[in-house]
Amino acid sequence: MFSKILIANRGEIACRIIRTARRMGIATVAVYSDADARSPHVKLADEAVHIGPSPAAQSYLLPEKIIAACEQTGAEAVHPGYGFLSERASFVEALEAEGIAFIGPPPNAIAAMGDKIESKRLAAAAGVNVVPGFVGEIEDTEHAVRIAGEITYPVMMKASAGGGGKGMRLAWSEQDVREGFESVKREGLNSFGDDRVFIEKFIESPRHIEIQVLGDRHGNIVHLNERECSIQRRHQKVVEEAPSPFVTPEMRARMGAQAVALARAVGYHSAGTVELIVSGADPTGESFYFLEMNTRLQVEHPVTEAITGIDLVEQMIRVAAGEALPFTQEDIGIDGCAIENRVYAEDPYRGFLPSTGRLVRYQPPQNGEEQGYVRVDDGVTEGGEVSIFYDPMIAKLITWAPTRDEAADLQLQALDAFRIEGPGNNLHFLSALMQHPRFRAGELTTGFIAEEYSEGFTGAPASPELLRALAAMAGTIVTIDADRARRIAGQLNGPPAAPGDWQATIDGQDYLVSIEEDAITVDGEPVDIAFEYTPGERIIFAELDGAALTVQVAPRKLGYTLATRGFSRFVRTLNARYAALSAHMIEKEAPDLSRLLICPMPGLLVALHVAEGDAVEPGQPLATVEAMKMENILRAGKSGTIRRINASAGASLAVDAVILELD
């Protein structure tokens, strides 16, 4: 067994690997860029080595920096985590040339499966079902248009070396191919150093199912059941669960057998994942096709660990050290259900635009359940920075329970108690997903988010009972806060606040809240809500009609923002007399910004598609902005003429920066 390993990664996955290595008695070495100098993974490791500037291309993606860090510290092996160098065969070969072990698969397997074109050929030869498409090299946009027409729309354009949702575009028409092909090439080149693209048929109503495989150097290969990863946004996974509510034991056996056959065909060892796309329109489960094989640890591996009891990182380390797997296929079962939600730094209320900045508050939920558990995998800390240089994921929230509904209920409770302030985040959106009737029914496809939130996300729906409860809570909070303010103003010895009436307004609806010593009424009707509140508290644990309710509180001018169960609203809370007078106040009109193209996120202006004096029509591409490794096309909202351009290609833009103006 190794005595010291280096983790060639950052963030939550680096922390995750370090914890398992420490439990095994193995010393660890972290590497870090300028941006990560104070990151948790650096503090958690036994040693840390600085490897360069903040951009990954100048630090984490340089094999020579990793090898030098190994030589400096005496690390005997490298665990790559996911992303960065984890699927680069040349990196493995460079390590082996220096006598450093790689905690992952052999380089030939990485090369074969990392090339999406070659991997499809190998999969077909191994008897694995493959998606119909063109697996040769595409010369240019015109060639891509001809191929897409032959396959028939819709088609998916993918970077050959892509992964993680990057370098992918769905095309419903020739125009989509013409607009997206070059963008896919650029994303593939920028993220993976390979601009080759392939095109395949897009399977409609698809479910994304993946099979976890694990092999050793002695020829033993097993699969650890499946994960359902169908809830995605822009081809990036948001929610994963194990087992899938769609997969039957017979389907599981067929999918597992094909995954193991593919792994065996390329001489695979270590952990890997065979990704499949399944037609949700076929209830027999026969219509499943090979997408790709990820020759590394997956982000969503914790849900597999939860239902099997197997620590995948530990097994990867043991396999790399030459040990045989301590179990066979017959030993692997399924215990309960697990769900993972990815907590991203993005604003779902603004079209899921990436968000950056300091984590002013970061307080993950605690595990306190007897019939399940909550696990948070993260690599951030309060006061830390969410950087523009890396992936926007803040944390992974994993729950396990005996049943799927119980695991989802645990997610709801944990999301309500997860406190993040600073950059925008998707906690409310995840809570809405966990409550959605279609999710609860297990009726999932990769189009779930686009179909159910086609008009954008405005929060989870709230029942009339919940609205009344939030009004009652706001009235109670403002009474307690006003009492405290009165006592302070009176040298802490003034009388308590007199019982009174408050007008709480939510989404334009007024509620008259009366606070008495022994009761709270809303519009004259009692509300059965019980909680304790001390001024300054930001999370309130309440009971509504006898059921637990966790509410986050943020004071605002003239009221509070209250958030629970994915529903977040400003509750204007005024003394009833003042509220009547406020109706006579004149409201200030918002300025007209429709003639401006405003950058919706911090990012890099990759391209301008227009010049001053050009006439534009609604929907026409105006500029492309890259943020957190993803390209975003900004389009005209109305017709007009370009009056002035305020930024040039290659410029770094702040959020709300004006890119151009229209007449």
pLDDT range class, residue 614, cuts 50, 70, 90:
very high
Average pLDDT, the chain: 92
Mutual angle of helices 116-125 and 249-265, in 10-degree steps: 110
- Is there a contact between 280 and 244 (Cβ–Cβ < 8 Å)? no
Which uninterrupted H or E stretch holds 428?
Answer: helix 427-435
Specify whether the CB–CB gap between 295 and 111 falls below 8 A. no
Q: Residue 552: what pLDDT?
A: 97
Q: What is the pLDDT of residue 356?
A: 84
Contact 207, 281 (CB under 8 A): no
| pLDDT tens-place string over residues 177-236 | 998 998 898 888 887 888 888 898 888 789 999 999 999 999 999 999 999 999 999 888
What value does the mean pLDDT take over residues 134-146?
Answer: 88
Other beta carbons less than 10 A from residue 172's beta carbon? 11
| Over residues 23-36, mean pLDDT | 97
Summarize the confidence of residues 445-452 as an average pLDDT.
94
- Name the band, by pLDDT with cuts 50, 70 and 90, for residue 491: low
- pTM for the predicted model, two decimal places: 0.85
pLDDT at 509 over 70: yes
Instruction: State how far Cα 184 lies from the chain centre.
Output: 21
Between CA 429 and CA 452 the distance in angstroms is 12
pLDDT value for 497: 52
The Cα–Cα gap between 276 and 314 comes to 26
Average pLDDT over residues 464-474: 96
Confidence of residue 243 (pLDDT cuts 50, 70, 90): very high
How much of the chain is helix, strand and coil, in % rounded to 5? 30, 35, 40
Q: What is the pLDDT averaged over residues 449-467?
A: 94
Residue with the two structure tokens 């697996």: 135
Q: pLDDT tens digit string along 628-637? A: 667 888 999 8
Asked if the model's pLDDT at residue 284 lies above 70, the reply is no
Greater model confidence, 255 or 653:
255
Dist. CA 167–CA 185, nearest whole Å? 7
Average pLDDT, integer, range 136-157: 90
- Whether the CB-CB separation of 233 and 352 falls below 8 Å is answered with yes
Question: What angle do the packed helices 312-320 and 301-308 form, to 10 degrees?
Answer: 100
Which is it for the CA torsion 597, 603, 605, 607, positive or negative? Answer: negative
Question: Averaged over 371-393, what is the pLDDT?
Answer: 91
Question: How much is the average pLDDT of 608-626?
Answer: 93
Q: Is omega for the bond preceding 243 within 30 degrees of 0, making it cis?
A: yes
Q: Distance (Å, rounded) from C-alpha 650 to C-alpha 624?
A: 11
pLDDT > 70? residue 370: no
Task: Tell whether the model's pLDDT for residue 262 goes beyond 90.
Answer: yes
Q: Which residue bears the tokens 């059941």?
A: 225
Residues in contact with 345: Cβ distance below 8 Å, sequence separation at least 6, in sequence order: 354, 355, 356, 386, 392, 393, 394, 423, 424, 425
Residues above pLDDT 70, as percent of the chain? 96
Residue type, 95: L
Best CA proximity match to 187, nearest among 206, 207, 161, 155: 161
- Annotated catalytic residues are 292
pLDDT class for 657, splitting at 50, 70, 90?
very high
pLDDT band at 116 (very low <50, low <70, confident <90, very high): confident
pLDDT band at 658 (very low <50, low <70, confident <90, very high): very high
Q: What is the C-alpha separation between 552 and 537, in angstroms, rounded?
A: 9
Q: Which residues are CB-contacts of 400 (< 8 A; sequence separation ≥ 6)?
A: 306, 307, 336, 337, 338, 372, 373, 375, 407, 410
Which amino acid is residue 319, in one-letter code? Answer: V
Higher pLDDT, 579 or 513: 513
Backbone angles phi, psi at 386, to 5 degrees: -90, 110
Cα separation, 202 vs 183, in Å, equals 19
What pLDDT score does 136 carry?
A: 76
Task: Report the pLDDT value the prediction gives residue 200, as an integer from 0 to 100.
Answer: 87
Q: Is the pLDDT of residue 498 over 60?
A: no
Q: Which residues lie closer than 8 Å to 271 by C-beta, 6 or more apart?
A: 104, 212, 213, 214, 296, 297, 301, 312, 315, 316
What single DSSP character describes residue 226? E
Q: How far apart are CA 418 and CA 411, in angstroms?
A: 10
pLDDT at residue 451, as a whole number: 94
Question: What was the pLDDT predicted at 600?
Answer: 85
Query: Could you tell me which of 463, 411, 413 has the C-alpha nearest to residue 433?
Result: 411
**Would you place residue 393 in the very low, low, confident or very high pLDDT band (cuts 50, 70, 90)?**
very high
Residue 282's pLDDT band, with cuts at 50, 70 and 90, is low
What secondary structure letter does DSSP report for 46? Answer: S
Tokens 């977040």 belong to residue: 568
Band (pLDDT 50/70/90 cuts) for residue 584 is: confident
Q: Output 6 or 592, whichever has higher pLDDT.
A: 6
Q: What are the strands, taking DSSP E only, across 182-313?
A: 197-201, 206-215, 221-233, 236-242, 270-279, 288-294
Instruction: List, edge to edge, every strand of the sheet that includes 197-201.
Output: 133-134, 197-201, 155-163, 166-171
User: Based on C-alpha coordinates, what's the Rg of the chain?
Assistant: 27
The average pLDDT across 255-265 equals 97
| Share above pLDDT 90 across residues of the chain, in percent, rounded to a whole number | 74
What is the mean predicted confidence (pLDDT) over 510-524?
A: 90
pLDDT for 540 beyond 70: yes
Q: Half-sphere exposure (CA, 13 Å, Cβ side) for 336?
A: 20
More confident residue, 584 or 39: 39
pLDDT score of 4: 98
Tokens for 414, please give them. Answer: 């944990």
Which secondary-structure segment (H or E) carries 540? strand 539-544
Structural domains in the chain, CATH included, are: 4-103 (3.40.50.20), 133-201 (3.30.1490.20), 207-335 (3.30.470.20), 336-459 (3.30.470.20), 464-582 (3.30.700.30), 596-662 (2.40.50.100)
d(CA 127, CA 251): 16
Checking if the pLDDT of 490 tops 70, the result is: no
- Whether cis (ω within 30° of 0) applies to the bond prior to 283 is no
Q: What is the pLDDT of residue 487?
A: 76
Question: Cis bond leading into 154, ω under 30°?
Answer: yes
* Contact (CB, 8 A) for 569 and 504: no
Cβ–Cβ < 8 Å for 242, 228: yes
Q: What mean pLDDT comes out for the span 247-251?
A: 93
Helices 107-114 and 116-125: crossing angle in degrees, nearest 10, is 100
Strands 658-662 and 361-363: unpaired
- Which strands form 501-506's sheet, in the order they lie side by side? 525-526, 520-522, 509-515, 501-506, 567-575, 559-564, 547-556, 539-544, 529-530
Rounded Cα distance, 269 and 104, in Å: 7
Any idea what DSSP says for residue 323?
P
Query: Residue 519 — pLDDT band, cuts 50, 70, 90?
Result: confident
Lowest-confidence range among 337-351, 453-467, 542-556, 590-604? Answer: 590-604
**CA distance linking residue 55 with residue 35, whole number of Å:** 9
The whole-number pLDDT of residue 160 equals 80
| Banded model confidence at residue 601, pLDDT cuts 50, 70, 90 | confident
Query: Is 648 within 8 Å of 605 (Cβ atoms)?
Result: yes
Q: How far is CA 240 from CA 236, 305, 430, 505, in A?
A: 11, 13, 12, 37
Q: What is the pLDDT of residue 542?
A: 95
| Consecutive H or E run containing 377 | strand 373-378
Q: What is the mean pLDDT of residues 360-387?
A: 88
